[in-house]
């Protein structure tokens, strides 16, 4: 496993990306990230040490803090980075390697919306589907729960969890922030091995089952934990 990247002391917002077999797409996303970010926003990329295109990542990984480590699902990566590697950030967010940021200082617009809402919330950019995307979450929620996303998930359907935050008034939409999801489902990318691996009926069924379990057995407890931490002024 590669060394843990050290981030600047002024880092306030940490975006995370789990990239699989797509160094070219990652380079495009990072170009839009660095062109449009504000001071205090950083990115950490995670690539599996057994990625079949690992050598092709050499050039792009030189441009960004990163970890090359054991194979993990996307959700395991995001929980690892936010809860073990960089656990004291004020805000966390995740971007896929097929996202592309279109709005200048989008990160500060999301942070401003979170601050205006009093913290303890998610904030979402505009989405083609109406589901949350390009989000940030306040770090106090991550620390109250002990995870970024519920660990029973692997890849899909976590945006349905964010919808439940929206339903409870704990997700703020910022439609003027445009984060384009250049996905094959929107005819903005060709099918590739990553989509074949992650965007299939088996994965969708796994995601739906995880959501059903979370919704039935853990959701209310998660929101109760957040409320208790908020009342105590923790985190």
In tens, the pLDDT along 147-176 reads 999 999 999 999 999 999 999 999 999 999
* 2 located within any domain: no
* 1 located within any domain: no
* 117 located within any domain: yes
Report the pLDDT value the prediction gives residue 235, as an integer from 0 to 100.
67
Contacts of 141-146 spanning 24+ positions with Cβ under 8 A: 141/226, 142/82, 142/83, 142/92, 143/87, 143/229, 143/234, 143/235, 144/225, 144/226, 144/228, 144/229, 144/230, 144/234, 144/235, 145/222, 145/225, 145/226, 146/83
Integer Cα distance of 118 and 141 in angstroms: 13
Report the pLDDT value the prediction gives residue 43, as an integer from 0 to 100.
98
Tell me the CATH number at 120: 3.90.550.10
Residue (of 138, 154, 135, 157) closest to 74 by Cα position? 154
* 96 located within any domain: yes
Integer Cα distance of 223 and 167 in angstroms: 12
* 108 located within any domain: yes
Report the pLDDT value the prediction gives residue 189, as an integer from 0 to 100.
79
Helix, strand or coil for residue 80? helix
Q: Which residues of the chain have pLDDT under 70?
A: 234-235
H-type alpha helices, the chain: 23-36, 58-61, 74-80, 106-116, 139-145, 158-167, 193-198, 201-217, 219-232
Quote the number of domains for the chain. 1
| Predicted structure pTM score | 0.96
* 161 located within any domain: yes
Angle (CA) 217 223 228, round 5°: 125
* 8 located within any domain: no
Report, in angstroms and rounded to the nearest whole number, the Rg of the chain calculated over CA atoms.
17
Domain that residue 196 falls in: 13-225
In tens, the pLDDT along 98-116 reads 999 999 999 999 999 999 9
CB of 88 within 8 A of CB of 14?
no
Report the pLDDT value the prediction gives residue 183, as an integer from 0 to 100.
85
* 4 located within any domain: no
Helix, strand or coil for residue 121? coil
């Amino acid at each position: 496993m590669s060394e843990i990247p050290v981030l600047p002391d002024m880092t306030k917002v940490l975006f995370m990306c789990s990239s699989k077999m797509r160094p070219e797409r990652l380079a495009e996303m990072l170009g839009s990230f660095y062109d449009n970010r504000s001071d205090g926003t950083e990115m950490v990329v995670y690539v599996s040490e057994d990625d079949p295109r690992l050598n092709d990542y050499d050039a792009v990984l030189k441009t960004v803090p990163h970890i090359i480590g054991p194979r993990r699902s996307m959700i395991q990566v995001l929980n690892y980075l936010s809860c073990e590697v960089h656990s004291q950030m004020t805000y966390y967010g995740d971007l896929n390697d097929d996202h592309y940021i279109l709005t200048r200082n989008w990160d500060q617009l999301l942070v401003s919306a979170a601050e205006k809402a009093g913290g303890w919330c998610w904030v979402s950019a505009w989405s083609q589907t109406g589901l949350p995307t390009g989000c940030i979450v306040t770090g106090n929620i991550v620390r109250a729960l002990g995870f970024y996303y519920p660990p029973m998930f692997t890849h899909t359907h976590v945006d349905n969890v964010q919808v439940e935050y929206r339903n409870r008034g704990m997700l703020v939409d910022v439609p003027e922030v445009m984060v384009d999801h250049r996905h094959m489902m929107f005819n903005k990318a060709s099918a590739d091995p990553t989509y074949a691996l992650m965007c299939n009926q088996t994965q969708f069924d796994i995601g739906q089952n995880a959501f059903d379990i979370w919704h039935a057995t853990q959701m209310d407890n998660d929101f109760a934990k957040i409320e208790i931490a908020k009342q105590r002024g923790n985190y």
